[in-house]
């Protein structure tokens, strides 16, 4: 796994030049895949020299992970909103689910790149993506769900990581399968992501068994 550069990646990624490099890299990675993209092509698209890329990012792998962190910052911002709102989970979870799915649909090419990388590169890429991209946001979501358990909003006997996995997994499935779902006569939510996430959260919170008679 590529080691973080000693240059201070977080600060470097905030410079104007680095921002152009990241945008160019995301576009090319999404279009062609990680292996097919050269640093020269990224430099040309960003309008900088290849030496300038190496000033910010030691390797193509490090640049790819920086692009991934940038994509994950969207989810981090959604979690910030959840934590700042101070509203019950029954209200904040639907908002998160819809915003998360919307972010997948809006950055569809890059989302497909990440999924393709997971399928093609297997355990090696999965470990890198977890450690340098997804794990912090997932841990925060688990923590929010665990907080809901502690406050009595959610069942205490549930595994919060499982709840988070179901929520994220359902969004990813919709993203991957929307073009198929829209051709199923039984499915009337393929063109309405908000309705999909509302129904998803309703099932997560209330299950599929009938409510006991009062």
pLDDT at 204 over 70: yes
DSSP state of 57: -
For the chain, give every domain's residue range.
7-58, 67-206
Least confident range of 61-65, 96-100, 113-117, 149-153: 113-117
Question: What is the rounded CA–CA span in Å between residue 23 and residue 1?
Answer: 23
The mean pLDDT value for 86-105 works out to 90
pLDDT at residue 213, rounded to an integer: 63
Could you tell me the sign of the dihedral formed by the alpha carbons of 146, 147, 150, 154, in that order?
A: negative
- Residue range 7-58, CATH number: 1.10.10.60
pLDDT of residue 214: 55
Give the residue with greater pLDDT, 140 vs 113: 140
Q: Name the residue with higher pLDDT: 58 or 68.
A: 58
- Give the per-residue pLDDT at 196: 97
pLDDT digits (tens, 9 = 90+) for 158-168: 999 999 999 99
**CATH number attached to the domain at 67-206:** 1.10.357.10
CB 28: neighbour CB atoms within 10 A?
A: 21
Q: Which two tokens stand for residue 99?
A: 């915003």
Instruction: Identify the pLDDT of residue 61.
Output: 87
Report pTM.
0.79
pLDDT(36) > 70: yes
> What is the C-alpha to C-alpha distance for residues 119 and 126, in angstroms, rounded to an integer?
9
Report the alpha-carbon distance of residue 62 to residue 137 in Å, rounded.
Answer: 19
């Amino acid at each position: 796994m590529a080691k973080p550069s000693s240059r201070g990646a977080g600060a470097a990624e905030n410079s104007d030049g680095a921002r152009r490099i990241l945008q160019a890299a995301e576009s090319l990675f999404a279009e062609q895949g990680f292996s097919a993209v050269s640093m020269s092509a990224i430099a040309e698209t960003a309008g900088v020299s290849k030496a300038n890329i190496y000033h910010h990012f030691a390797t193509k792998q490090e640049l790819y992970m920086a692009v991934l962190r940038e994509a994950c910052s969207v989810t981090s911002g959604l979690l910030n909103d959840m934590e700042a709102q101070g509203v019950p989970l029954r209200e904040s979870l639907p908002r998160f689910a819809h915003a998360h799915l919307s972010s997948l649909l809006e950055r569809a090419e890059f989302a497909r790149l990440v999924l393709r990388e997971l399928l093609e590169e297997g355990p090696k890429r999965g470990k890198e993506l977890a450690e340098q991209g997804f794990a912090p946001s997932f841990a925060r979501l688990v923590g929010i769900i665990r907080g809901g358990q502690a406050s009595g909003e959610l069942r205490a006997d549930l595994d919060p990581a499982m709840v988070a996995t179901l929520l994220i997994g359902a969004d990813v499935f919709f993203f991957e399968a929307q073009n198929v779902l829209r051709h199923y006569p039984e499915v009337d939510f393929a063109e309405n992501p908000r309705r999909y996430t509302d129904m998803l959260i309703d099932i997560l919170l209330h299950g599929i068994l009938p409510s006991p008679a009062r």
